[in-house]
Amino acid sequence: MLKQDEGDVFVSAGNSGALLTGATLLVGRIKGIDRPAIAPMLPSYKKGLMLIDAGANTNCKPLNLVQFAQMATIYLRNTYNIEKPKIGLLNIGTEETKGNELIRETYKELKENSERLGINFVGNVEGREAFSGEIDAIVTDGFTGNIFLKTVEGMGKLVKRTLAESLKKNILSTICSIPALPGIKRFAKTMDYKQYGGALFLGVKKPVVKAHGSSDDFLFYFTLKQAENFSKSNAVGKMQEEFEKINEKA
């Protein structure tokens, strides 16, 4: 239905591999993109953080990661009006000699070609610096990205659960927490990844959104809102236009 323009956006909480295969084979890839990627938005300091790839491609080449950086740049610029999104490469250190062969080669490609490709590459980023608010998107392979994503989700649940238990530990702590409740609620809202919706499939010709497999009604509500915005912003059409220009220059 999506391929035949009988729908504007497709949302699924099903198997990621099946969804990626269906989107790629039925809807098709944007010309010039080697592999589509899963790109969820995560909470960061006073803003959101895009993670790409979060599980679609476990075995990547430097070309794939460079294209992930291009897609993140185009999407964030056109949807969030960030003129020059800051793109970081997830690594175990900030030095360009750190990391495995894939990351070192990708770093070299981004360093040499980022200006030509319109990418605002800020270098390697360690996991502890990812949520500083200084980065708009983190680029990595799907294997590492999926572990990173689920670790962040687990830590968010731990903080939320531990905070709630601490405030309800005894009657005194419960009473004393009442004046701070507005601030606590704001903190909980900031830490809640569910409000950022599902993960976008960037690189296919139509808007496709992957909701979490364990989605509840709250998460699915925000995923549907995200899907609507994804379609209304014409992010896919703009990405096709941008890659056509890139291909012509190449």
In the chain, domain spans: 10-239
Instruction: Answer for the pair 79, 167: CB distance below 8 angstroms, yes or no.
Output: no
pLDDT, one tens digit per residue, over 104-125 is 999 999 999 998 888 999 999 9
What is the rounded CA–CA span in Å between residue 158 and residue 47? 21
Mean pLDDT of the chain: 86
> Over pLDDT 70: what percentage of the chain?
92
Q: What is the pTM of this model?
A: 0.86
Give residue for tokens 């670790």. Answer: 151
pLDDT, one tens digit per residue, over 48-84 is 899 999 988 889 999 999 999 999 999 998 888 898 9
59: left (phi > 0), else alpha (psi -120 to 50), else beta? beta
Is the pLDDT at 142 greater than 80? The verdict is yes
Residue 11 Cα distances to 98, 155, 201, 230, angstroms: 38, 26, 10, 11
Centre a 10 Å sphere on the Cβ of residue 185 and count the other Cβ atoms it contains: 10
pLDDT value of residue 178: 73
Q: CATH for 10-239, among 1.20.200.10, 3.40.718.10, 3.10.180.10, 2.170.130.10?
A: 3.40.718.10
pLDDT interval class at 184 (50, 70, 90): low
